[in-house]
Chain A
Amino acid sequence: MKRFLPCACFLALFCNFLIAADDYVLGIDSQPNPNTPKGKIEKSEWKSNIFPGTVREMLVYVPAQYDGKTPAALMIFQDGGSYASEKGQFRATVVFDNLIHKKEMPVTIGVFLNPGTIPASNPKEKGRSNRSFEYDTPSDQYATFLEKEILPEIEKKYNVRKDPAGRALCGISSGGICAFTAAWERPDLFGKVLSHVGSFTNIRGGDVYPGMIRKTEKKSIRIFLQDGSNDLDNLHGHWPLANRSMAAALKFAKYDFVYVEGDGGHNGKHGGVILPESLRWLWRE
């Protein structure tokens, strides 16, 4: 027994080091519930003029509770396909079903947009990805794309809120900074941002934001930032430091924000596990 206890302790400690970071487990609100009404998803392809030559997949999720009379909230997800996947790290449509049913978030239409690609004129050749250009560039082009192309398309078919507090943007990595950029450029259109392992680094000059936040009159945006201490550190920057810098700037400028840092890497595991609580916080009255 005398030898057993130290060995057991040593083994426990050793095993602790063996357990990788990112050992996040999805909770009950991320699991399909047969008693919860399920929303409907419609898939389409969008050809853009604002990003000329690009095509992209768009999924629109409409919750079962949407009645067409009361304007629904709207949430646009960048890299939408990965957020919508029911077997993926986020399972956003499942979470929406559960939270909307329990009235823990408003009746919300979800738009899941993939980044654009420019197909090659020769069908045998690969298309060119437009993702970094669309997502990482700190400019108003993506916000204009949403304003002039996506919002009108959604508003043609659905009764959605027009106030910025009723519209949220979400993204992961470059999609995270994209969500922030669009809201920063157009806070009159989008008042809520959810960023997962956001790339607030110098991929295309996005590291400018902390300084800009500190020296710009406060905008009406509510922001949830998530990152992991083992996120990337490469030529573009240090992701955890960049997100901490964003958080410090948002705190300095007295924004309504939250920064949650786990121990994960550059993926959606942590963000996916806390998605239900992120959405409750983001959509609180």
Chain B
Amino acid sequence: MNRSLACFFLLVSTTLGYSQDIPLSQILVPAENWKKTTLSNLSGEFSAIASASQGSLFLADAKTKSVLKLDSNGKITEVLADAPAKALALDTQGGIYLASGSNILYAALGNTKAAVIIEGLDCIALCTLNQDKCYAAVPTEKAIYLFDKAGAKKKINIDDAVISLTVSNDETTLFAGSADGRSVFTFRIEQNGDITAKDRYVAPRKPLAGVSGSVPGMTMDKANRIYAATSLGVQVFDPTGRLCGVLLQPNSPLFASSIAFAGTDKNTLYALVGQKLYTRKILFTGK
């Protein structure tokens, strides 16, 4: 065992390690940059995005107050009407959770209208678990809520305001981006979905001056690398929380508020900047 440990620390600090120590040259496609996406026949103004497992991207249209689905072939369909949303998340059955005003709504796959399942929750970010549960970040309460599509909820006080959420591929860890940009917290996910063992696992790089830091959006790739939308750019961290690099802003000085992987191979990173959508192909695949 001790010999294995000696080999372990050698491996984890070299480029042979599992998804660690990856420089930007191994993340970015050469000569590829952010592109502003103009989706035809659409307002082009979005308030939230979220990805589904098949590579589709769901967008909350800020003008028409509907939820649209952009599938991996580029086809756009309206899936929900009358559904203004500031956060979206998809469950494994294709159902959609929305944070809308101070309510949380849910629409099962095939339904064109979402129903209110929780009232009075000023949620800013959503993230689903495979076990038909969902987390909601409520920064005004310094809490994360765990709830299901029937609306049964549990408040978990975390003593910090967090504004973005993502879950590891194996659903053992919840990552939560802080409003002050100082940290991405980690929590251990218990078998019932409860979260424990909070710590400041990831320290995003902060701007040297000017705009204060925050972590308004996060997503994850298949190797558990964390992508955090920050005021500095999209920061990529390896699974142990070490910074791999910072992708420049799609439209500096504005910064991305939400990011998601989508596309045929799920290797296109979508970023919501202001209310505009940008894309960038990278070398890794989203979870």
Residues of A within 8 A of B (CB): 51-54, 79, 81-82, 84-85, 87-89, 114, 118, 120-122, 125-133, 136-137, 172-175, 199, 202-205, 232, 234-236, 266-268
> Do B199 and A52 have beta carbons less than 8 Å apart?
yes
CB contact between B3 and one of A79, A87, A174 (< 8 Å): that residue: A87
CB contact between A173 and one of B2, B3, B9, B242 (< 8 Å): that residue: B9
Closest residue to A127 on the B side, CB-wise?
B172
Can you list 10 A-B pairs, Cβ within 8 angstroms, ordered by A? A52-B197, A52-B199, A54-B197, A121-B188, A121-B190, A127-B172, A202-B243, A204-B241, A266-B10, A268-B6
A-B pair count, CB < 8 Å, reads 103
> Do B23 and A118 have beta carbons less than 8 Å apart?
no
Closest residue to A89 on the B side, CB-wise?
B6
Q: How many residues of B contact A (CB 8 A)?
A: 36
Measured between beta carbons, the chain A residues less than 8 angstroms from B1 are 81
Q: Do A266 and B188 contact each other (CB < 8 Å), given the known contacts A51-B199, A52-B199, A84-B2?
A: no
CB contact between B9 and one of A175, A205, A235 (< 8 Å): that residue: A175
- B250 CB to nearest chain A CB (Å): 22
- B119 CB to nearest chain A CB (Å): 31
Q: Does B19 count as interface, using CB distance less than 8 angstroms?
A: no
Near A by CB (< 8 A), chain B positions 162-189 give 170, 172-173, 186, 188-189
Measured between beta carbons, the chain B residues less than 8 angstroms from A199 are 13
> Do B172 and A120 have beta carbons less than 8 Å apart?
yes
Near A by CB (< 8 A), chain B positions 6-34 give 6, 9-10, 12-15, 21-24
Other CB < 8 Å A-B pairs besides A128-B172, A129-B12, A203-B242, 19 of them? A51-B199, A52-B197, A82-B2, A82-B6, A87-B3, A88-B6, A118-B188, A120-B170, A120-B172, A121-B189, A129-B240, A132-B12, A132-B240, A132-B242, A202-B243, A235-B21, A235-B245, A236-B21, A268-B6
> Do B14 and A204 have beta carbons less than 8 Å apart?
no
Measured between beta carbons, the chain B residues less than 8 angstroms from A53 are 188, 196-197, 199
> Do B9 and A79 have beta carbons less than 8 Å apart?
yes
